[in-house]
Amino acid sequence: MLFGKKNRPVVSTATLRNAYDRRSFVIGTMGAGVGMLLAVRMGYIAIAENEKYATEAESNRVNLSLIPPRRGWLLDRHGAPLASNRADFRVDLIPDRLTNPEKTINTLGELLGLDAAALAELKDKVGDARGFQPVEVGSGLDFSQFAAVSVRLPEMPGVVPQRGFSRFYPTGPAVGHLVGYVGPASAEEYELDRNPLLITPGYKIGKDGLEKQFEVKLRGVPGARRVEVTASGRIVRDLDTREDIQGNPIKLTIDGPLQDYAARRLGLESGSVVVMDCATGDLLCMASMPSFDPNSFSDGIGRVEYSMLSQDERVPLRNKVLKGLYPPGSTVKPMVSMAFMKEGLDPEESVFCGGGLRVGNRVFRCWKRGGHGQVNMAKGIYQSCDVYFYHFAQRIGMDPIALMARRYGMGQQFPLPVTSQFYGTVPDPKWKMEKYGQPWAAFDTVNATIGQGYMLANPLQLAVMATRLATAKEVMPRLVLDGKKPRFRDMGVSNEHELLIRQAMSDVVNGPGTAGRGRLPFDDIKIAGKTGTAQVVSLAKSDGKSGPWKYRDHGLFIFFAPFDNPRYAGAVVIEHGGGSGAAYPIARDVMTFLFDAQKGLEQLYMLEKQWGGTAQERLARKYATFAAQAGEAVAPVPRRDEEIFDRVDAEARAAAQQPVTQATDAAINRSDIGDSAPPSAPQDGADE
């Protein structure tokens, strides 16, 4: 450029000025070029890509937060909530927005009734907190406190009263296994269902039982709140809010007060009560105790409370109605009798019971060592004579009995909205060959006919069996009310046979049978049933009635009432109750409550006085003791005392007024039943 191809370029002032002019022109042009480039670039960003960046600026600015939807209620058959939502009032502080922290906190302390220690702790927390992280002042507040804080908001900047909902189960442990509980979604659950709602703080999904089964229906539609936020996440102002839509309620066949009563009546025992409506198959009650309090699960159960539940040998975490499998014991005898008659056995044909029967090289004893003397079918049932069944079962064979057992619901899985059900075993020769590779032996039949040996059933199956015995229809249990009245196939049992079995089962209680103290305290309503005792260990190890709890016999009782026109049927199973004497008094009281709530409650109050409070109270006390041993201080759970929720406990039934009467055809007009019943025999004793 610069003259310069020669070895000695001649450089003078003039050439330099010339060079300056050319070069400064180049520089000026390049500068102008850069200016043009910048203008074009800016035009491109601001005009061509405007839409993209406007969207991004908006998504920066606006923060969309989901408002968890209120969960649908779970209602009992009368429309009272078994699971509802409690308005949960809480107050938070945003330290960064406090103008006068000392004064604000003191005012809050006054309004919320915080003590000095709580105030000091709160002040520490506010001191340590940084920025916009809210500090919780109080939760579970009642409405008056919440309102008091809300009214004084203008003078307390930085105080944020919030309203949320938490799941509430008015009868607590009574519905724990049936209804399940809710909790925050786990990582696995979020993997399965990538719904952003699941990771919204405060949202809880059904974790067990009906809450889990009906999750989608109960969930509802979340609301949304659009707020303007700064880069550091501070909320500047609310833009708009969409209300949530509450999930659909689900109306169950369960009778809330009955469920509560049955659960409480189980008392200190470990067991379950199932009651069904004979006409519809409606499950009125599926109580399983001991249980957990789904309220504390839903609030996020503590480590101590969980370890208390999981260490308990009475497995409060297992739903015994569906997942407890027991040898049905003598409760199968009416069903076995049906099989006998179907195979042509004359019910009057009798056998002599001398206290035992030799089968092969082994003597099978009747439960009554002294023997029953001459026994026909009816006596075989009401006296529960084992020898009668040993004898005729060998004649009839196992296959007809197994077939009949299945028809009566044993080994059956029912189409219910439950997370799982164990369906047990109805053994027959084919099954044994498959399972153990051994041929069926005569003593297997003998064992099976008295419901021992391989035979296993859950309490729901036993209740279905009782219902089918009572109605001679293939009644199917159901858990959800759909307004339809189901129709069931006939079992194909002759009326004569049906009546004979019913009468024999009535005699178990009302005649010379094994459950004489199971009578209902009514003149005109009689209960029919069948006792059962299932051995857990051999007689050599324990007599089944005393000794270590876990070696005691299971007590069982299946029943229906009234015996001549069955409306309700069910089953009670008491784990290690020491015999059926532990089971049928419970059935008696539950049925008493069903026909006359007041009478049932009187009995319950007497017992609860001995046991030391209701199931909920005992559970709370047990937890406190356990926690004390574990060395942890337990804050007492604040009692929830809104009256509206008290409609599903047993007392609500007894109250003269029913707040809601959405009676179905299965409901009973309680005012005209049994005011003049004789006093009951309240002792619980083993008759077998």
Please, which residues have CB within 8 angstroms of residue 99's CB and are 6 or more apart in sequence?
157, 158
Out of 99, 144, 230, 438, name the contact with another protein by CB under 8 A: 230
Asked if 245 interacts with another protein (CB under 8 A), we say no
Minimum distance from CB of 96 to another protein (Å)? 14
Minimum distance from CB of 131 to another protein (Å)? 12
Name the 3-class secondary structure at 270: strand
Stretch of residues binding another protein (CB under 8 A), selected from 16-24, 119-127, 219-227, 496-504: 16-24
Please, which residues have CB within 8 angstroms of residue 467's CB and are 6 or more apart in sequence?
276, 278, 281, 475, 477, 560, 566, 569, 570
Residue with tokens 């003597």: 363
Minimum distance from CB of 11 to another protein (Å)? 5
Asked if 29 interacts with another protein (CB under 8 A), we say no
Stretch of residues binding another protein (CB under 8 A), selected from 22-30, 347-355, 469-477, 641-649: 22-30
Asked if 621 interacts with another protein (CB under 8 A), we say no
Asked if 1 interacts with another protein (CB under 8 A), we say yes
Chain mean position to CA 565: 32
Asked if 20 interacts with another protein (CB under 8 A), we say yes
Stretch of residues binding another protein (CB under 8 A), selected from 42-50, 142-150, 583-591, 632-640: 42-50
Q: How many residues does the chain have?
A: 688
| Backbone phi and psi for residue 362, each to the nearest 5 degrees, phi listed first | -130, 140
Asked if 228 interacts with another protein (CB under 8 A), we say yes
Of 1 and 540, CB closest to another protein: 1
Of 54 and 199, CB closest to another protein: 54
Distances from the Cα of 486 to the Cαs of 75, 87, 270, 277, 470, in angstroms?
20, 38, 33, 12, 17
How far apart CA 212 and CA 74 sit, in angstroms, is 12
Asked if 229 interacts with another protein (CB under 8 A), we say yes
Minimum distance from CB of 20 to another protein (Å)? 5
Nearest to 237 by CA among 54, 63, 66, 69: 63
Cα–Cα–Cα angle for 464, 277, 578, nearest 5°?
50
Whether cis (ω within 30° of 0) applies to the bond prior to 562 is: yes
How far apart CA 301 and CA 145 sit, in angstroms, is 26
Of 23 and 362, CB closest to another protein: 23
Of 48 and 539, CB closest to another protein: 48
Of 26 and 606, CB closest to another protein: 26
Stretch of residues binding another protein (CB under 8 A), selected from 28-36, 299-307, 415-423, 523-531: 28-36
Stretch of residues binding another protein (CB under 8 A), selected from 25-33, 310-318, 481-489, 658-666: 25-33
Out of 116, 117, 187, 231, name the contact with another protein by CB under 8 A: 231
Of 51 and 643, CB closest to another protein: 51
How far apart CA 576 and CA 96 sit, in angstroms, is 61
330 is catalytic: yes
How far apart CA 159 and CA 152 sit, in angstroms, is 10
Of 4 and 373, CB closest to another protein: 4
Q: What string of DSSP letters covers 636-666?
A: PPPPP--GGGTTSSHHHHHSS--S-----TT
Minimum distance from CB of 48 to another protein (Å)? 9
| Residue 437 DSSP class | S
Asked if 120 interacts with another protein (CB under 8 A), we say no
Asked if 9 interacts with another protein (CB under 8 A), we say yes
Which of 84, 288, 296, 330 is labelled catalytic?
A: 330
Distances from the Cα of 638 to the Cαs of 140, 141, 362, 507, in angstroms?
8, 10, 61, 49
CB 554 within 8 A of CB 581: no
Asked if 31 interacts with another protein (CB under 8 A), we say yes
Asked if 199 interacts with another protein (CB under 8 A), we say no
Asked if 64 interacts with another protein (CB under 8 A), we say no
Name the 3-class secondary structure at 125: helix
Window 628 to 687, contacts with another protein (CB under 8 A): none
Question: How many Cβ atoms are within 10 Å of 126's Cβ, its own excluded?
Answer: 19
| Residues annotated as catalytic (active site), given as ranges | 330
Q: What residues line the site for another protein (CB under 8 A)?
A: 1-2, 4, 9, 11-17, 19-21, 23-24, 27-28, 31-32, 34-35, 37-39, 41-43, 45-47, 49-50, 52-54, 56-58, 60-61, 228-232, 236
